[in-house]
Amino acid sequence: MARHFISVFDLGEDGAPKVLKRALEMKKSDYRSDLLSGQVVAMIFEKASTRTRFSFDVGIRHLGGATIFMTPAESQLGRSEPLRDTARVLSRYCCGLVVRTFGEAKLRELMAYGSVPVINALTTEGHPCQIMADVLTMYERAPNLEKQRVAWVGDGNNMANSWMEAAACFGFELRLACPKGYEPDMSLLQICRKKGANILLTESPQEAVDGAHYVNTDVWASMGQEEEQRVREIAFQGFCVDEKLMALAAPEAKFMHCLPAHRGEEVSEGVLEGKNSLIFDEAENRLHAQKAIMEWVFKN
Ligand code: CP
Ligand code: NVA
């Protein structure tokens, strides 16, 4: 049976901290291996990417493998070849599929019809690779994750959903502030709370940021929502992470953003570029976290 990575939960209660620890070891040792030697990973991207594409490609090379990248526009996917056929064809050439797409149902279809592991490189519902990198960014600073308070200010999007899963797996407190109508997946919130996660959902950015050790945000309109930009700019008034909001957080609180960022919208230029901004450490940690995730997936 192929081992897939679709959500942080897939790592399991024991697995998630182990993968995190392993990612830090890999980072410290500038890890290389021949785990994927002679093998090729297919990268299927239906949305744009800089960090995810590069960090997977580089990480797969560090593990001795190679990649082939494709988008719908340059493959038969864009001419309506069914995903289930693509899954069965690519499974015969490649050892795994790294996929960035819209609905998670597409990943489930690839899993159902293909015979190799599927790794979620972002869907509309979640971004688990980014979250593992972000938790690594916290962990390398303060390993006592259960003592940390994390604030999320903005859209209840893929990142917010994955943060909730991480709160359930790693035990930090999560306070999400989302405008009315832009909440995260409420059934996932219930699942995370049932697993013991300490998650507060509010409409007040001030309440979420109060005393937080890490303050997170993301764009107001995610990929595929560009047409909603104007409406969202109105709905998200008061949700910009600026110096005034950061002043409510814990002393020396860190700012986090998965990038790309819209300066002056969800975050001020000063906070994004400030001394407490972790944005480039998060971007770097994509590489290390994904190498550990791929070891978990492919060493199975
Ligand atoms: N954070 C992130 O996933 O960036 P890319 O869209 O550039 O891959
Ligand atoms: N929420 C953003 C994350 C980009 C990495 C999006 O889905 O576009």
Tell me the pLDDT tens digit for each residue of 183-207.
999 999 999 999 999 999 999 999 9
Same-domain pairing of 205 and 246: yes
Best residue among 104, 219, 279 to mutate for probing ligand 2's pocket (most ligand atoms within 8 Å of CB) is 219
pLDDT at 300 over 90: no
143 CB-near residues (< 8 Å, 6+ apart): none
Domain count, the chain: 2
- Same domain for 34 and 121, yes or no, is yes
- Shared domain check, 191 and 96: no
The residue among 218 and 1 whose pLDDT is bigger is: 218
Within a domain: 66? yes
Based on the fold, state whether residues 160 and 291 are members of the same structural domain: no
Same domain, 294 and 218: no
Ligand 1 atom closest to residue 54's alpha carbon, by position in its atom list: 8
Q: Mark whether 73 and 108 lie in a shared domain.
A: yes
Instruction: Say if 3 falls within a structural domain.
Output: no
**pLDDT tens sequence across 98-142:** 999 999 999 999 999 999 999 999 999 999 999 999 999 999 999
The answer on 61 and 29 residing in a single domain is yes
* Beta carbon of 217 within 6 Å of any ligand 2 atom: no
Give the domain range for residue 292: 8-126+283-298
